[in-house]
Chain A
Amino acid sequence: MRVRVKVFAMFRELLGTDVFTVELDDDSTVFDLIEWISKNMNEKFRDEVLDEKGRVKKYVKILVNGRNIEFLDGLKTRLKHDDVVTFFPPVAGGLMVY
Chain B
Amino acid sequence: MSALAGLSEEELARYDRQIRIFGREGQQRLKNAAVMVAGVGGLGSPAALYLAAAGVGKIVLVDKERVELSNLNRQILHWTGDIGTPKVRSAAEKLRKLNPHVEVEEVFAEINESNIMDLVKRVDLVIDGMDNWETRYLINRVCVEVGRPFIHAGVYGMHGQMLVIIPGKGPCLQCVIPEPPPSAEVFPVLGTTPGILAMMQVTEAVKILTGYGQPAVGKMVIYDGTTMTFEEISVQKREDCPVCRKK
Contact = CB atoms under 8 A, between A and B. Distances in A.
A and B from one assembly? Answer: yes
Given A8-B159, A9-B224, A97 B184 contact: yes
Interface stretch (B8-16, B46-54, B59-67, B230-238): B230-238
A95 B132 contact: yes
Given A93-B155, A96-B156, A86 B181 contact: no
B161 A94 contact: no
A61 interface: yes
Given A18-B227, A58-B178, A58-B179, A93 B235 contact: no
B177 interface: yes
Interface stretch (A27-35, A63-71, A73-81): A63-71
A59 interface: yes
Interface residues of B, number: 39
Contacts of A94: 131-132, 183-185, 187
Contact of B181 (A68, A70, A71, A91): A91
Question: Which of the four size classes fits the interface of chain A?
Answer: 20 to 34
B233 A93 contact: no
Question: Chain A contact residues: over half helix, strand or loop, or mixed?
Answer: loop
A93 B194 contact: yes
Interface in A31-49: none
B182 interface: yes
Contacts of A95: 131-133, 154, 180-184, 187
Interface in B213-247: 220, 222, 224, 226-227, 231-236, 238
A97 B157 CA distance: 11
Given A68-B233, A95-B132, A95-B180, A8 B43 contact: no
Interface in B187-219: 187, 189, 194
A93 B74 CA distance: 12
Query: A18, A58, A59, A90 — which one has the most chain B CB atoms within 10 A of its CB?
Result: A90
Interface of B: 41-43, 130-133, 136, 154-157, 159-161, 177-185, 187, 189, 194, 220, 222, 224, 226-227, 231-236, 238
Interface of A: 6, 8-10, 12, 18, 57-59, 61, 63, 66-68, 70-71, 86, 88-97
16 contacts: A9-B157, A57-B179, A63-B233, A66-B232, A68-B234, A68-B236, A90-B161, A91-B155, A92-B155, A92-B180, A93-B131, A93-B194, A94-B131, A94-B132, A97-B184, A97-B187
Given A86-B233, A91-B157, 13 more contacts: A66-B233, A68-B235, A88-B231, A90-B181, A90-B220, A92-B136, A93-B43, A93-B131, A95-B154, A95-B182, A95-B187, A96-B181, A97-B182
Which 5 pairs, one residue from A and one from B, show the smallest C-beta to C-beta distance?
A92-B154, A91-B156, A94-B131, A58-B179, A93-B131
